[in-house]
Amino acid sequence: MRHVQGRARRAGAALAAVLTWAGLLAGCSSDGSGPLGMGGALVKPPAPEDVIRVTPDDGSKGVRPGERFQVRVPGGRLEKVTVVRSQDAQETPVPGRISEDGLSWRPDGNGLALAARYTVDVVALDAHGRRSARHTTFTTYVPDERFIGYVTPENRATVGTGMIVSLSFSREIENRAAVESAVHVTARPPVEIRPHWFGKGRLDFRPEQYWKPGTEVTVDLDLRDVEGARGVYGLQDKTFTFTVGRSQVSLVDAARHTMAVRRDGQLLTTVPITAGAPKHPTYNGKMVVMDMLEVTRMNSRTVGFGGEYDIPDVPHAMKLTDSGTFLHGNYWAPDAPGQTNVSHGCVGLMDVKGGSSDTPAGWFFDRSLVGDVIEVVNSKDKTVAPDNGLGGWNMAWKEWKAGSAVK
């Protein structure tokens, strides 16, 4: 009896083996895409990296911005590609598109970001309809050197109609066209705004005429990862805005010792002034108020003179040039305004020690904005240089536009 049972068990095992192989054969396709290939040989499923090719390679480090970033399959089609960029503790989806034939994917935009980690997840079908998935990561180059642009005016400021947008860079810029293309200055209502380079470290923007009152100006700095010089990349991705207030343009006549203050085209008043003495005349031309200080110290040694003066408490000081020209209150020469020019190049208004709103200097200071225009005429000096302070209004529009690096 045991002998018969043993034979029955062996017969059952043989039958099971036959059924198993039959099932495997039934699952094979004629082209060898199933578990068995041509001739009945077992076929190992392809590895995900053979089906889905990702460039840069998985685990790559120090990938440069200009290197190729692509996902592709040699056959079949891509079903889904998801890419995430991790940068500055933030994760951002990277948009891209699959080609019409389904064989490749490329990102939108202008290349890889610096100092970032990219995560790539892909699902694809191979040429035989088998689905594969792949997960890869790589990191991009972390530059040793960066540059930033210091923007004038300040964010959310209300300024006068003569304000010029000025960027002073922390490093000299060799690739000026690339940097210029990454800075966008727009206005509402719209007006043509053009850039002008002063050397390799400063880029200014202005319209042809003074801004219209009420204009809203936006400065977009898309400088992050822009190569400004060899191995030196931008750091900023920021937006600044400012609003243009009322128009105020004041005309200083150095020969007549007067300043006529006009608000929105109407004469407000004319005040007596003292300008630069014959040995130190005031610049002619259009200057823009760059800064306003209730009180400041003025020392002749800081502007290239000898020890001719050192006044620790100059009231109502308004900076007009980088070289040291100010419009300020003058209490130490009370008889000069309206009569004679005694300064070292500044424009002085009547004031008292400690400053007062009841004096011409105090009155003018209280009614002024950064960005207001002070124009000097009839002085014995040359016209202020366009890059001395915000002096760009002294340059003809054609010449200003010629200063762009983007041709």
Q: Does the annotation mark 344 as catalytic?
A: no
Which residue among the candidates 280, 316, 328, 344 is catalytic per the annotation?
328
> How many C-beta atoms surround the C-beta of residue 342 within 10 A?
18
Q: Which amino acid is at 237?
A: D
Pairing state of beta strands 96-98 and 165-169?
unpaired
d(CA 346, CA 360): 16
Look at residues 281, 284, 311, 282 and name the one whose alpha carbon lies nearest to residue 297. Answer: 311
Which residue's entry shows tokens 């105020």? 248
Distance spanning both ends of the chain, measured CA to CA:
102
Burial of residue 383 (number of CB atoms within 10 Å: 0-12, 13-18, 19+) = middle
Q: Are 321 and 388 in contact (CB under 8 A)?
A: yes
Paired sense of beta strands 165-169 and 149-152, if any: antiparallel
- Phi, psi angle pair for 64, to nearest 5°: -80, 155
Q: With the CA atoms of 105, 108, 109 and 112 taken in that order, what torsion angle do they form, in degrees rounded to the nearest 10?
A: -40
**Whether 328 is catalytic:** yes
Catalytic residues: 328, 346
